[in-house]
Every structure is written in structure tokens, then in C-alpha cells.
Amino acid sequence: MVMSSASIQPFTSRRMGIYNPFQQVSLWGDTFKGDSSPNTGASTVLQVDAGMHNKSEIISQESMGPSRNDEGSNSADKVKRRLAQNREAARKSRLRKKAYVQQLETSRLKLAQLEQELEKARKQGMYGQSALDTSHGGFSGNVNSGIAAFEMEYAHWVEEQNRQICELRSALQAHITEIELRMLVESGLNHYHSLFRMKADAAKADVFYLMSGVWRTSTERFFLWIGGFRPSELLNIIRPQLEPMTDQQVLNVCNLRQSSQQAEDALSQGMEKLQQSLAQSIGIESVIAGNYGSQMAAEMEKLEALEGFVNQADHLRHQTLQQMSRILTTHQTARGLLALGEYFHRLRALSSLWAARPREPA
């Protein structure tokens, strides 16, 4: 399955003059009245016969009545059970939503308290400008509330992902119905969609913070690529968990991985071109021009392209997940999401072990 070229349209400023590699990439390609007789005697006989015939039909219908009633009763019981199950599922969903909203409200209050404490500390001179820049990945002066909100949201996102991993594992072991499993799969895909939305908001607040990966653990940062993971690498990780696959599925997965790699290369080349253009402009050209103020204003416009690159990279990650769910069956997709979630969980666990490792005294 090859993705359409419209899926990758990176941001390119007209004033940048940066080579756009995405024009060379093709991705994705995307689909129950009786005759009366004058003879009175014969008519009498016919009436008697008809009466007996009708009587036999009535007897037959009465004998069949209880069977049909039984069938109707069984069908009604099934409908009642299904409605009861739906009500229970809806109740649990409301409870989960209520708990999540409560968590967000608690996080909002904690965030407001944190901002007040940091503002108070800044006014008292407890932290210098350089300390703020170091501890907050480039924050200047005041704390960036957009980034602080993202960090709180991301912490809740990780907690919810861990809960979904446990739910998926239990569901696969319990062999639940296809419909119930499909609901869990859709919930897992939507959860990743929420992450990409959160990252887009964070990129608007501070794209350098998002690309630096300081919001992730140290081991996760080791695999970072434009603010996240390479989709082609994640396909390689979950591929063994998808067996058995049909020949057509194998072909489609291979095509998807190849398309992802092409898009990754295009984005990487675009980033390199941006870096080269920026380095030349603020280096040699700025010295020759001698107009520092106007030159810096021009370079600020080039830096705005970074937000477009991050959004395009997350768009590629989102589309790869969506394409995988179309190629695979529901059970295969559930196993793939489980493998993906456990992979991220183990990376975070490895980071915790690394940070807590014993160190020899200097």
C-alpha cells in the first residue's frame, strides 16, 4: 500500500530559498377468487371441507404457536442482554472520562501553583537568568506556560498508555469479541492522535524545546528523530508480533516501510538544507552585510520552518499508524499496539535503571 504524495507537504518559506525535497516523494497511495356452483349439495360439501381445512390450519397454528413464542422470547432476551452490556460499557466509559477530567483539573491547579512559586522565586532573585535558561531548555525570564501545560498533559498521556497496555494484554488473553477488541484498538489509535495534537500545540510555544526531546527520558532521546521516532524503525520493531500474515499483508507492510523511509529521507534532507542556509546567513553573509538587526529578523522567518518540519514528521507517524490498522486484522493491530506500547515502556524503564545505577566515587 503506497501513500499519496499529498500526505507530505512540508512547510517551506518563499523567502528562505531552501531546497524542498518533498516534491520528489510519492507516498500513500490509499476503500446489502373461487368459482361459484349452482349445485347446492356440492356447495354444502365444499363448505364442510373448507371448514375442516380451516380448522386444521387453526390447530396447526396453535401447535406452532409456543415454538414461535419461544423464539421471540430468546431474541428478546438477547436484545436485553446486549442493551445491558452496552449500558455497562457506557457507564464505565463515563467513569473513565470523569476520572480523566478530574486529573486534568488537578493538574491545572498544580500548574497554577507551580507558576506562582516560580514567579515568586524569580522576583526574590533565587534564580538567575542563566539558571532558568539551563533548567527549562531555553526558557527566557518567565516560565513558558504552554510548555509547562504540555509536560503535565504528557505525564497523564503516559499514565493512560500504561493503562491501555494492561487492558489490551488482558483482552487478548481473554479472547474477547471482535467488536470489543475493535473498540480497544480505536481507543489506542486515538490516544496517539492526542499525542500528536499536544505536540503541535507545544511546537507553537517552543519548537526547540520539543525537538530537543527534554520531555522524554534519556534512552528515548537516543532514538529521537525530529521530535519523535522514525516510523520505519517502529515498523521493524512490531513486525515480528504480527505473524502470521498473508502474502498480500507482507507486501503491503514492506511497501509501507519503504514509503516511510522515503518520507523520512525527504524530511531529513529538508532539515539539512535549512541548517546550511541558516549557518551561511548568520555567518559569512551577516558579516559582509553588516546590518545585524535586519539580518536577524530575516533569519527568524527561516526558524519558523522548524515548526512545519515537526508537524510533518508527526503527520508521517500518524499516517503510518493509520495505514497499518488498514492492512492488518483487528487482532493483529491489537498485538501491534501492545508491542509498541511495551517498547516505549521498556525504554522508560531502562532510563530509570540507568539514572539509578551505582556510581564509583570520583
Q: Is the pLDDT of residue 89 over 80?
A: yes
Angle between helices 247-280 and 231-238 (to 10 degrees): 150
Please name which of 241, 218, 249 lies closest in space to residue 355, comparing C-alpha atoms. 218
Q: What are phi and psi of 265, to 5 degrees?
A: -65, -40
Please name which of 159, 138, 156 lies closest in space to residue 147, comparing C-alpha atoms. 138
Q: Is the pLDDT of residue 334 over 70?
A: yes
Q: How far apart are CA 206 and CA 137, in angstroms?
A: 10
Of 22-31, 147-156, 234-243, the poorest mean pLDDT is in: 22-31
Per-residue model confidence (pLDDT) at position 288: 53
Q: How far apart are CA 34 and CA 46, in angstroms?
A: 11
Per-residue model confidence (pLDDT) at position 293: 61
Burial class of residue 262, CB neighbours in 10 A (0-12, 13-18, 19+):
buried
How confident is residue 50, by pLDDT bands cut at 50, 70 and 90? Answer: very low
| DSSP state letters, 268-334 | HHHHHHHHHHHHHIIIIIHHHH--HHHHHHHHHHHHTHHHHHHHHHHHHHHHHHHHHHHHS-HHHHH
pTM comes to 0.60
How confident is residue 68, by pLDDT bands cut at 50, 70 and 90? Answer: low
SS (H, E, C) 340-357: HHHHHHHHHHHHHHHHCC
Of 111-115, 275-279, 337-341, the poorest mean pLDDT is in: 111-115
Q: Mean pLDDT over residues 61-71, rounded?
A: 51
Q: Is the pLDDT of residue 24 over 80?
A: no
Of 26-40, 218-232, 284-298, the poorest mean pLDDT is in: 26-40
Q: How far apart are CA 278 and CA 153, in angstroms?
A: 33
* Range with the largest mean pLDDT of 34-48, 137-151, 173-187: 173-187
Return mean pLDDT, the chain: 76
How confident is residue 201, by pLDDT bands cut at 50, 70 and 90? Answer: very high
What sign results for the dihedral spanned by CA atoms 150, 152, 153, 154? positive
Task: Please check whether residue 10 is in contact with residue 310, taking contact to mean a CB–CB distance below 8 angstroms.
Answer: no
**Cα 108 off chain centre by:** 23
Q: Mean pLDDT over residues 339-353, rounded?
A: 93
Please name which of 326, 310, 328 lies closest in space to residue 246, comparing C-alpha atoms. 328
Per-residue model confidence (pLDDT) at position 348: 93
**Between residues 193 and 134, the one the model is more confident about:** 193
**Between residues 358 and 110, the one the model is more confident about:** 358
H or E element, residue 356: none
Task: Please check whether residue 331 is in contact with residue 244, taking contact to mean a CB–CB distance below 8 angstroms.
Answer: no
Task: Please check whether residue 183 is in contact with residue 190, taking contact to mean a CB–CB distance below 8 angstroms.
Answer: no
Q: Is the pLDDT of residue 107 over 50?
A: yes
Per-residue model confidence (pLDDT) at position 357: 87
**pLDDT digit string, tens, across residues 152-200:** 999 999 999 999 999 999 999 998 899 999 999 999 999 999 999 999 9
Q: Mean pLDDT over residues 52-75, rounded?
A: 52
Per-residue model confidence (pLDDT) at position 3: 47
One-letter amino acid identity for 148? A
Q: Mean pLDDT over residues 46-57, rounded?
A: 44
Per-residue model confidence (pLDDT) at position 96: 79
